[in-house]
Amino acid sequence: MDKIGKMFAFVDNVLIILAKALLLIMVIIISLNVFMRYVLNSGIRWAEEISLVLVVWFTFIALAHGVKAKLHINMNLLPSKIAQKLDPLLKKISDIIILFVGYIMVYYGIKLVNVTSRSILPASNLPASVIYFPLILSGILIILNCLIEILSFSKSLGGHD
């Protein structure tokens, strides 16, 4: 189990570093484009399109990390006395629902990638599927994180309570 825990921690750290790098690159591209447009009266033709791709990738990587770190919105609808008794069951139900959302993301992400793989983004000449691929990646990571929680591996993997 320790090797699996280290592997998941490594993947999570790599994704966080990737998300930070994508955000930094996006800020640099947008700043450079604003400077060129307003100071030099000439913009970068592909800047907005690439910035859109980067923000989509950043968002879905952050979403997967947010599920792992339990940053999603929770509502306490039951009284605290009842919730304490049912808390482990309610957490498992919540994880199963989030797992299902991850499955939907993967399923429809694959469909979107297949449909858009023949289209080309006009400014960058990248395949349009590059925008939808992070949906699949994020869905897979969400499924894996939820399976770890559901199967109660999270304590042995250093996860959240």
135: CB partners within 8 A, 6+ apart: 60, 105, 106, 108, 109, 112, 113
- Locate the DSSP E strands across 3-150: none
Exposure b/e, 21-38, CB count within 10 A at least 16 = b: ebbeebeebbeebeeeee
Residue 16 one-letter amino acid: I
75: CB partners within 8 A, 6+ apart: none
pLDDT tens for the 161 residues of the chain, in order:
567 767 877 888 898 899 999 999 999 999 999 999 999 988 888 999 999 999 999 999 999 888 888 887 776 666 666 767 777 888 888 889 999 999 999 999 999 999 998 999 898 889 999 999 999 999 999 998 888 888 875 454 444 44
Q: Provide the token pair at 147.
A: 């399976």
